[in-house]
A and B are shown apart, each in its own frame.
Chain A
Amino acid sequence: MALPVSADATPAAPARPVSARHFVRLKLRVMANNFRGQGWRIAMFIGGALLGLWFAASGFFLFAAPGLTDNGRYAVLVAAAGGGLLVLGWLLLPLVFFGVDETLDPARFALLPLPRRTLVTGLFVAALISVPVVAVLVAASGLVLTAWSLGGWSAGVVAVVGVLAGLLLCVAASRAVTSAFATMLRSRRVRDLAAVLLAVVAALLGPLQIFGLAALREADWDRLAGVATVIGWTPLGAPWTAGIDVAQGRVWAAPVKLLITVVALVALLAWWSRSLESAMVGAASAGKAPARRGVDGGAVAQLFPRVAGWARRDRFGALVAREARYWWRDARRRANLITIAVVGIFVPVMINVTGGDFAAVGDEGFTAAASDSSPVVVTISMVFVGVLAAVTLANQFGFDGSAYAANVVAGVPGRVELRARITAFSLYVLPMLTVVAVVLSLLLGEPGWIGLTAGALVATYGVGLAVNCLVSVLGAYSLPETSNPFAMNSGAGLTKGLLTLLAMLASAVAAVPMVVAAALLGDAWLWLALPVGAGYGLGAALLGAYLAGDVLDRRMPELLATVTPRR
């Protein structure tokens, strides 16, 4: 039936334009629906909100301290350093730990006839609706108090504008960076480049460390104030210091700093908007891997990668082989491995080498560095790395999602399952940890400490595995099936953060004996640390797999249900 179609094929412009208001309402509605009938989620949310409020309150008093004490000397320092830390935190924490809330997944908007500007504005405004944003707002309002008490209402008003702009900057930075990295990690071609870039980003932790440690040591305050002034002129510190500048009589500086902020904000949004496009097209842009022909060997031989070639061709071996393949082939897991590698190297180096270095420079000019570190400090930094490595497994079943059904259908015993997962993960992590231990000892100029560093690492990693085995069975949650390795489900954000913190805390506590031994046993510990640490770690990991495996046997279907994304 061929009806005459009117010649005017362009659809009429919609009567009601879409604005950011719709995105905000959509986000609120999705959040509310996620809570429906899930008491524990509401409890988690309230718990997280209270935690955020607590941090916000302490941040507020820190920022307001110069104003409350009526001491303008350190106002710029506090504003620039604190504000800069906030921006850096927003930049780095999503990449390293928490992921980014994808309540509104950009891919869902791909089919809607929305101009990109509307979409970016809408998603951006919707991203502002979150507990961390409120917490930062509360904390940063301390700056307003400072500016107001030092310079009257005009400075206060400028500070309000500055703080709001800074907040926008934080959110835009976190969105732009995670989105860009997600795009890079998705594409098979440039993923190695992405790893390098991530390393550079993590290297930004350096200035942060220097600041923290130097401030703790009460190094030269005027020198720090100079650094703070410089930071105040970068986008990191500009929005936060504008109000203080007005208060201290540098009125001309405020508009310039606000302009710097706005330019940075616009640049970030433009960057985000570009990578958003590829996120919306999604996996289609990733391109297919070339279908290599000429398969050699049987199916079983193909399953086992070279790293797992030693494994027996049985159930345990198959699990190890598949996990080993997944840690490399799954973008989400690979991102985690890269994070461990980067943070594992950089953080201990910062703590033990750079920190000492800077303090030495700050105090007496150029003196030999590194002598500053002690076995206890080294052990503590190793505990941090071990905990970070192991906590990757806290939601190991969430990585699988509904694919875990295959193991449930096959009736894999829980202990075999967990032991295999630990083994496969360790195939990647143990070599990394070895490198960390050796490199750090050499950098410190104390090759004799290799046993100490390696022992602390292995022990912490082992107890961390034990804790995270239990957490992964009892506290699993589903990850969205998007191609963004940093994405996580709405509502799960706080849950994830709390669970991760809890698991890390428990692992760290379990590793305390290593620190105590390093403090008390002296030189003998340099020799004992490795065998004792290895035994402690291995025993703990096996015990953890044994206990958690028992739990897993009883709740396999429940676990499958919790890791299956709701559609």
Chain B
Amino acid sequence: MTVEHPALALRGLAKRFDGTIAVAGVDLDVPAGSFYGLLGPNGAGKTTTLSMAVGLLRPDAGSAWVLGHDVWQDPVTAKRLLGVMPDGVRLFDRLTGAELLAYNGLLRGMDPAVVDQRAAELLDVLALGDAGRTLVVDYSAGMKKKIGLACALLHGPRVLVLDEPFEAVDPVSAALIRDILTRYAAGGGTVVFSSHVMEVVERLCSHVAILASGTIKRVGTIDEVRGDRSLEQVFVEVVGGRTATGEELSWLSR
């Protein structure tokens, strides 16, 4: 490759729903090999942005590239390079964990023998082997996140896009997911994930972007963004939160 493409490049992505603007023109460059955190409060447009970036939601304007391949013009190539774990989206949850992995693997055009081997390894590492023939619909929230991650990892994508991978996950599973992601990034992969858990982002990420009201407010390496303060202080200042004065809600104490 003569030109080094960014792992994920977004240009002017915009989306409006029923008159409300969800995302108002997002530009972002995720360097290859980086561990990128997309921060934002609830309703900031994180999920909408990531959905448009991976081809799940057609943007009103703008485009997205994965390693130089346009997601909306050349979806086949782009999707081959991507591993995606959407949030708030059901899995095909009437399958067992193993069946779900096999389904996703074959859907990606993988060799059945490779699917078998990788599925067994993933189930083992993610401690999902014990679930046996339990359907994914009966999994706990943490187990669902883990099987979703396994589905995204199965075909060995170059870029991993995860929406809220740490939400509703207990500390043990969270540590496991962190380990796997760190190993994946160390092996040359790129991870983009959205979150509003500051500790995780500070610990893992090389780069962050703060998204609020549908636009990027701060972007850069983690040191550039946080400066000499904590990430949480920067985040609250950018987003503009309010603190309770103690006057209201007095009826809560009796």
Mark A residues whose CB is within 8 Å of B. Answer: 3, 5-6, 36-37, 288-289, 291-295, 298-303, 313-315, 317-319, 321-322, 325-326, 329-330, 400-403, 405-412, 481, 557-558, 560-561, 564, 567
Contacts and interface: CB of A to CB of B under 8 A. Distances in A.
A453 to B, nearest CB: 34
A141 to B, nearest CB: 40
Shortest 4 CB-CB contacts between residues of A and residues of B? A298-B116, A318-B106, A299-B119, A303-B102
B89 A561 contact: no
Given A315-B109, A402-B90, A403-B93, A289 B135 contact: yes
A299 B89 contact: no
B98 A412 contact: no
A268 B215 CA distance: 55
Contact of B56 (A301, A560, A567): A560
B43 interface: no
Contact residues of A: prevailing secondary structure? helix
B138 A313 contact: no
A299 B107 contact: no
Interface of B: 18-19, 54-58, 75-76, 79-80, 82, 84, 86, 88-96, 98-99, 101-109, 112, 115-117, 119-120, 123, 131-135, 138, 151, 253-254
Most buried by B among A411, A412, A567: A411
Contacts of A289: 133-135, 138
A68 B56 CA distance: 61
Contacts of B89: 402-403, 405, 564
A325 B131 contact: no
Nearest to B75: A411
Contact of B101 (A299, A329, A330, A403): A299
Given A6-B254, A299-B120, A403 B58 contact: no
A479 to B, nearest CB: 12
A553 B96 CA distance: 28
Contacts of B101: 299
A402 B75 CA distance: 20
A302 B253 contact: no
5 contacts: A300-B116, A303-B99, A313-B112, A403-B93, A408-B56
Most buried by A among B76, B89, B105, B254: B89
Contacts of A405: 56, 86, 89
Contacts of B103: 303, 318, 321-322, 406
B90 A299 contact: no
Given A302-B99, A406-B151, A292 B133 contact: yes
A411 B102 contact: no
A14 B9 CA distance: 56
B109 A300 contact: no
A401 B96 CA distance: 18
A518 B93 CA distance: 46
B107 A319 contact: yes
Nearest to B80: A411
A300 B18 contact: no
Contacts of B90: 401-403, 481
B84 A409 contact: yes
Contact of A329 (B94, B107, B109): B94
A560 B52 CA distance: 13
B58 A409 contact: no
A299 B58 contact: no
B56 A295 contact: no
A407 to B, nearest CB: 7
Nearest to A565: B90
Given A325-B95, A409-B84, A557 B107 contact: no
Contacts of B56: 405, 408-409, 557, 560
A296 B12 CA distance: 50
Contact of B99 (A313, A325, A557): A325
B134 A402 contact: no
Nearest to B98: A299
Nearest to A331: B94
A300 B58 contact: no
Nearest to A293: B132
A169 to B, nearest CB: 37
B234 to A, nearest CB: 30
B55 A406 contact: no
B19 A409 contact: no
A37 B109 contact: no
B92 A558 contact: no
Contacts of B254: 3, 5-6
Contact of B107 (A412, A561, A567): A412
Given A3-B253, A303-B103, A411 B133 contact: no
A557 B58 contact: yes
A410 B132 contact: no
Contact of A313 (B82, B104, B106, B123): B106
B57 A561 contact: yes
Given A298-B116, A299-B120, A318 B132 contact: no
Contacts of A325: 94-95, 99
B126 to A, nearest CB: 13
Given A295-B133, A298-B120, A300-B115, A558 B58 contact: yes
Contacts of A401: 90
A318 B94 contact: no
A313 to B, nearest CB: 4
A288 B99 contact: no
A314 B102 contact: no
B95 A322 contact: yes
Contacts of B84: 409
B96 A302 contact: yes
A6 B253 CA distance: 11
A475 B151 CA distance: 30
B92 A406 contact: yes
A557 B88 contact: no
A291 B131 contact: yes
A298 B95 contact: no
Contacts of A321: 103
Contacts of A291: 131-134
Contacts of B19: 37
Nearest to A401: B90
Contacts of B99: 299, 302-303, 322, 325
A299 B57 contact: no
Given A298-B98, A300-B112, A403-B91, 18 more contacts: A37-B19, A289-B135, A298-B120, A299-B105, A300-B105, A301-B116, A302-B98, A303-B95, A303-B98, A303-B106, A313-B112, A329-B94, A329-B135, A330-B94, A400-B92, A403-B89, A405-B56, A411-B75
A317 B106 contact: yes
Contacts of A318: 102-103, 105-107
B112 A292 contact: no
A412 B58 CA distance: 17
A401 to B, nearest CB: 6
Contacts of A403: 89-93
B165 to A, nearest CB: 15
Given A299-B120, A321-B103, A326 B94 contact: yes
Contacts of B94: 325-326, 329-330
Given A298-B119, A405-B86, A411-B79, A315 B107 contact: yes
A538 to B, nearest CB: 25
